[in-house]
Amino acid sequence: MVSGQWSVKYQDILTPDPWPLPPDLNMADKVKLRQLDDYRWEITREGKMRTRGLVFASRKMIPKIQEDQSLQQVANVATLPGIEGPSMAMPDIHWGYGFPIGGVAAFNLEEGVVSPGGVGYDINCGVRLLRTHLARREVDGRIEELVNTLFKNIPSGLGSRRKDLKLTIPTLHEVMRYGAGWAVKNGYGHKGDLEHIEANGQIPGADPELVSDFAMDRGKDQLGTLGSGNHFVEVGYVLEVFDEKLAGALGLFKDQVTVIVHTGSRGLGHQVCDDYIKVMLKAAAKYGIELPDRQLCCAPLSSTEGKRYLAAMASAANFAFANRQMITHWVRESFEQVLQMGPKDLGLELIYDVAHNIAKIEEHLVNGKKKKLCVHRKGATRAFPPGHPETPAAYQKTGQPVLIPGDMGRYSFVLVGTEQALTETFGSTCHGAGREMSRHAALKMARGRSIVQELKAKGIIVRGAGRATIDEEISEAYKDVEAVVEVAHGAGISKKVAKLKPLGVIKG
Amino acid sequence: MHPKGPRPVKYRQLSHTADLGLRIRGATPEELLENAGAALTAVLTDRRRLRRQKVEEIEVEAPDLEALLVAWLNRLLYLYDVDAFLGREFQILELNPQSLKARATGETYDPERHLAGTAVKAATYHHLEVKNRNGRWEATVILDL
């Protein structure tokens, strides 16, 4: 029984109509844009900007982007010290807090800064994709049962926590130090998984001692939980293959059943971000960094504050890798339970796991010279090319897989990283669709409809912890991810491999 | 209906595509903070269904009133994450320029009885503002969802 599962009445969800944004928040962007080609727009360097802005978008996307302040945010990031290359935004750019969502900015280690607002509250929110040996027809009629089993095995929803798994502080420290490796060592998945995760599922330099007790309190019974909002586990299939050779190398074929997991570091990461924003507000004043927006607060990468944040951020990022690894284990168990098949026959193997909210120390070419930079990706995905030392061994010939989830009613994309991305965007590309409609507007649009039934009619079984989350996440509330991916592909900062369509989704 | 006409609006959500803005009002800074607590709970669940079963004493520190507002809301989110506690009513017991003491009365979230509203990751400093407008206090805060 999917509909009618909520014992609480729904009519009260809709709060009164929101007020319009106050004038200072509602200014249409006055930032000057210059079109460079079909996919690139430049924000001219002006005022306190230390560099130009570079936005990847199609002409059709521009009016919507100009409605809010995301372009101003790209310009604001350009004012921060030590920025290398342009302040960039990927085609899924939208208004965030501080940095725009879809923002990419790299800073040199000498004068540059690190900003918790350039990573976001959900540190190492990310996506992983699993393939199977199954063709779509082999799960015909079993999706509802699969979705229900996944829903039972993976705690999800507002404030989801595990009653069976409360971590002690020493264990939590190990999780934060070793990330996905901790999970594998403790029986969640196998060693081979680690080779298919960004940074092998462990960001180096983590120091759990720099994570507050408040953060650990929030994290200790949230490991292995999906959470709420736009997080999900999705069973789908390969609808279309764009490049047979690349798809083959990634182990993907048409009609193949796939699974996507999208979640992050839960309350632990949120608290780390909040804790360090407070530190950075003081640090920015201490080091004389002028801030156009308090949420951009930062500290020099060479400062104690900067180094401490990076070590705490790495700890939270590793918690997120462990989280996705554990959920993967329960995905495998759920499939085995429902389909009564062994792991060998199921072939639920990890294709890749990428972070889309993170700051990383990476080596890039700047004016022809190799240089270590701190690359902030906030709602952006790493997209390293074939042959790059950080591209995993399995993908040395294809380029690093990039996973772009869409909304629950449409489709998701698999891409690979390119040389163009490495030279132009510090090896980065888009991360998703981006909202087009506020949650309130989405709830209003969903009112009187059964989104669950509508999706069922389209062949997609959805199960969520609350009806509000499902209604807020209706397809109409999101931009079409295909348009975003077309820009990334057209601009050459990643290459399309395959398109996936959902069959069953569990929402937080 | 209030005996002297409609009650003044304590808070209202602001339309924002990706995240959620809150506009909060109060006669005093204390009332403003109390109403901010209620506004946050109203995003997470239907506040009126919460019973007055549990009391939490809260103390937070921050360099100024705006930062106190953010720290206060984030502390309430912390209590929700850790104890599933949701406040129905809030009382500011003591407010200093750089700290506050408060009491929240509410109960533990129960998915069987309570509405699952919108998940909030954090209150942010983006476009954060607290000001006194013609003798009344007004705040704008953007939540990361």
Task: For residue range A311-361, list pLDDT tens digits in order.
Answer: 999 999 999 999 999 999 999 999 999 999 999 999 999 999 999 999 999
**Strand ranges, E, within A421-472:** 428-429, 461-464
Residues of chain B neighbouring A229 (CB-CB closer than 8 A): 118-119, 121, 145
User: What is the DSSP annotation of chain B?
Assistant: --TTSSPPP-EEEE--SSSEEEEEEESSHHHHHHHHHHHHHHHHS-GGG--S-EEEEEEEE-SSHHHHHHHHHHHHHHHHHHH-EEEEEEEEEEEETTEEEEEEEEEE--TTTS-------EE--TT-EEEEETTEEEEEEEEE-
Residue B129 lies in a domain: yes
CA distance B93 to chain A (A): 23
Residue B120 lies in a domain: yes
Mutate to test the interface with A, among B7, B17, B69 (most CBs of A within 10 A): B17
Find the closest chain B residue to A465 by CA distance: B116
Q: Is B128 on the interface with A (CB under 8 A)?
A: yes
pLDDT bucket at B4, cuts 50 / 70 / 90: low
Backbone angle region of A360, left / alpha / beta, with phi > 0 → left and psi within -120 to 50 → alpha: beta
B115, A10: Cβ pair inside 8 Å? yes
- Residue of A420, A397, A394 whose CA lies nearest to A495: A420
* pLDDT for res B59: 97
More confident residue, A296 or B115: A296
- Measured between CB atoms, which of B46, B74, B126 is closest to A274? B74
Contacts of A1 (CB under 8 A, 6+ apart): none
Mutate to test the interface with B, among A13, A14, A25 (most CBs of B within 10 A): A25
Residue B5 lies in a domain: no
- Residue of A497, A495, A504 whose CA lies nearest to A252: A497
- Measured between CB atoms, which of B119, B126, B142 is closest to A228? B119
pLDDT bucket at B123, cuts 50 / 70 / 90: very high
**Residues of chain A under the 50 pLDDT cut:** 1-13
CA distance B91 to chain A (A): 23
Residues of chain B neighbouring A96 (CB-CB closer than 8 A): 18-19, 126
Count chain A–chain B contacts defined by CB atoms under 8 A. Answer: 165
Residue B105 lies in a domain: yes
For the entire predicted model, the pTM comes to 0.94
- Give the single-character DSSP code of A494: S
Contact A127, A264 (CB under 8 A): no
In whole angstroms, how far apart are CA A55 and each of A30, A428, B61, B88?
A: 15, 13, 39, 44
* pLDDT for res A30: 77
Number of domains making up chain B: 1
* pLDDT for res A14: 53
* pLDDT (tens digit per residue) in B67-107: 999 999 999 999 999 999 999 999 999 999 999 999 999 99
- CB-side neighbour CA atoms (13 Å) of A249: 19
Rounded distance between C-alpha atoms, residue B65 and residue B30, angstroms: 10
Residues of chain A neighbouring B124 (CB-CB closer than 8 A): 97-98, 121, 295
Residues of chain A neighbouring B99 (CB-CB closer than 8 A): none
Rounded distance between C-alpha atoms, residue A125 and residue A304, angstroms: 25
- Residue of A427, A431, A434, A433 whose CA lies nearest to A493: A427
Looking at A196, A356, A376, A431, which residue is catalytic? Answer: A431
A431 is catalytic: yes
B126, A20: Cβ pair inside 8 Å? no
* pLDDT for res A7: 41
In whole angstroms, how far apart are CA A321 and each of A327, A391, A403, B78?
A: 10, 17, 15, 22
Contact A63, A73 (CB under 8 A): no
* DSSP-assigned beta bridge partners for residue A234: A260, A505
CATH class in words for A32-109+124-507:
alpha beta
CA distance A21 to chain B (A): 6
Q: Is B6 on the interface with A (CB under 8 A)?
A: no
* pLDDT for res A508: 80
Residue B98 lies in a domain: yes
Contact A115, A357 (CB under 8 A): no
Dihedrals phi, psi of A114, to nearest 5 degrees:
-125, 135
**Residue found under tokens 């888009």:** A430
CATH for B115: 3.55.10.10
Q: Amino acid identity of A26? A: N
Evaluate if residue B120 carries a pLDDT over 60: yes
Q: What angle do CA A88, A351, A191 make, to 5 degrees?
A: 115
- Supply the range of the domain harboring residue B39: 11-144
- For a pLDDT cut of 70, what percent of chain B falls above it? 96
Q: Which runs of consecutive H residues, i.e. helices, occur in A93-228?
A: 143-153, 169-178, 180-185, 191-194, 213-219
Its ipTM equals 0.91
Contact A417, A481 (CB under 8 A): no
CA distance A391 to chain B (A): 32
Contact B18, B41 (CB under 8 A): no
Residue B1 lies in a domain: no
Contacts of A155 (CB under 8 A, 6+ apart): A161, A162, A224, A225, A226
